[in-house]
Amino acid sequence: CLICGEISPDFVGMLIDSLLESDKWDLNFLNNLIFASDCLWETKNRRAIAKKDAHLLDVLKRELDNIFYYTPLDRMNNMVMNAIPDILLSQIIKVWRDDLEAIPYLQYLVQTSPDIHVQFQALSELTGYHQKDPRVLPWLKQIILSPVEGGLVRKEALKDFMKGYPEDFERININN
């Protein structure tokens, strides 16, 4: 994919289209998604193929959501199936990390993903790379103080809060 930084964005768009042509979900399609997102990541002028960019992101999000429709037995018996959510989210984070919608999407995953690893990975990205964004700290406080959020997510959020925002830790009332 390194060549995608040196070729025409229109050609990269055609390459992405060809990689997404498959309508059946299998490991080849997963490899194509990874390859397509890596090609997009290397492209110097992504604005020239903004529609392809948005479409690929939508496909990755859809696949991340759909992976949980496989039966638990399928997922339990297949180590690859268990790794797919982490792989898909890693690609989304890598390629669209600076996208305006990245933070709301990561917040959504923390609160709704049925996969605890995806929740923790999204939370880690929010409290790491996006730590200085003004949308993150109030949301993180809300997660910590919410009686609705799962215990493991709240504990991980609290741990990340203490590590990333030590100056604000004294101001939060955990006993609410």
C-beta contacts of 158-162 below 8 A and 24+ residues apart: 160/123, 160/124, 160/127, 161/127
Residue 29's pLDDT band, with cuts at 50, 70 and 90, is confident
CA dihedral sign, ordered 8, 3, 93, 60:
positive
Is residue 13 pLDDT above 80, yes or no?
A: yes
Is residue 73 pLDDT above 70, yes or no?
A: no
Q: What is the DSSP string of 133-169?
A: STTHHHHHHHHHH-SSS-HHHHHHHHHHHHHH-HHHH
Q: Is-above-0.85 flag for pTM?
A: no
